[in-house]
Amino acid sequence: MLQTDLKDKFMLFKMFVNFCVAIIIWAKERPDFIVTTGTIIAYPFYLLSICFNKKFIFIETFGRADMPTVAGKKMEKHSDLFIVQWESQVKHYKKAIYGGVLY
């Protein structure tokens, strides 16, 4: 998988590569659900979870205790379960469930 962010000028290319890799991983593993802490890499797996009617679980980063992340704001609406690792993060998200330190 290729790391990228919204400011990366090669983001679309990297997203395409990541989506291709995600398809290969999906075909090999055949998951029942997806658990991710990823940012942009989460999106290809989200799309596959929709296509194959699988649950999508997003764990918000531990690194941001006092404010929401861009990835968290975007992926919250797509997730079946949205977990935060700080109690202070719950107030920033409608669907957040406090899970404590998970990783």
Domain count, the chain: 1
Asked if residues 32 and 54 have their Cβ atoms less than 8 Å apart, the reply is yes
In 3D, which of 29, 91, 31 has the Cα closest to residue 57?
31
Instruction: Say which residue, 90 or 4, is predicted with more confidence.
Output: 90
Residue numbers of the domain that contains 62: 31-98
Sequence letter at residue 49: S
Does residue 17 lie in a domain region? Answer: no
Please determine, for residue 84, whether its predicted confidence score (pLDDT) is greater than 90: yes
**pLDDT tens track for 4-33:** 777 888 888 988 998 899 999 999 999 999
Does residue 12 lie in a domain region? Answer: no
Q: Average pLDDT in the 85-98 region?
A: 95
N-to-C CA span, the chain:
20
Does residue 92 lie in a domain region? Answer: yes
Q: What is the CA radius of gyration of the chain?
A: 14
Please determine, for residue 99, whether its predicted confidence score (pLDDT) is greater than 90: yes
Please determine, for residue 1, whether its predicted confidence score (pLDDT) is greater than 90: no
Does residue 18 lie in a domain region? Answer: no
pLDDT for the residue numbered 48: 93
Does residue 2 lie in a domain region? Answer: no
Please determine, for residue 52, whether its predicted confidence score (pLDDT) is greater than 90: yes
Does residue 5 lie in a domain region? Answer: no
